[in-house]
């Protein structure tokens, strides 16, 4: 139950004074509370756990991490 998964914000609405969002998880859509990530925008990825976005997923950082992995491998090959 501790798993949190990234999803993409499709639309943002207000309900009972609470910011909610429709979030897409690879085709499955769920209503998610956005109160903890108030500046998340439509189109952005958020990390969602039990119906709450708990963090935004930083796309640039994700790309950098993957690029670092690529580089790790290449560096090693050069040293061989």
Is 12 a binding residue for other proteins by CB under 8 A? The answer is no
CB of 63 to other proteins, least distance (A): 9
CA neighbor of 9 nearest in space, from 25, 58, 18: 25
* 29 interacts with other proteins by CB under 8 A: no
The answer to whether the CB of 27 falls within 8 A of the CB of 9 is: no
Residue 43 is a binding residue for other proteins (CB under 8 A): no
* Whether the Cβ atoms of residue 33 and residue 53 lie closer than 8 Å to each other: yes
**Does residue 55 bind other proteins (CB under 8 A)?**
yes
Q: Does residue 66 interact with other proteins by CB under 8 A?
A: yes
């Amino acid at each position: 139950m501790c798993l949190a998964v990234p999803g993409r914000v499709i639309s943002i609405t207000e309900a009972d004074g609470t910011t909610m969002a429709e979030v897409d998880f690879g085709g499955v859509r769920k209503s998610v509370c956005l109160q903890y990530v108030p500046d998340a925008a439509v189109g952005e990825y958020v990390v969602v756990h039990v119906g709450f976005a708990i963090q935004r997923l930083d796309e640039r950082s994700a790309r950098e991490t993957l690029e670092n992995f690529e580089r790790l491998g290449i560096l090693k090959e050069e040293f061989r």
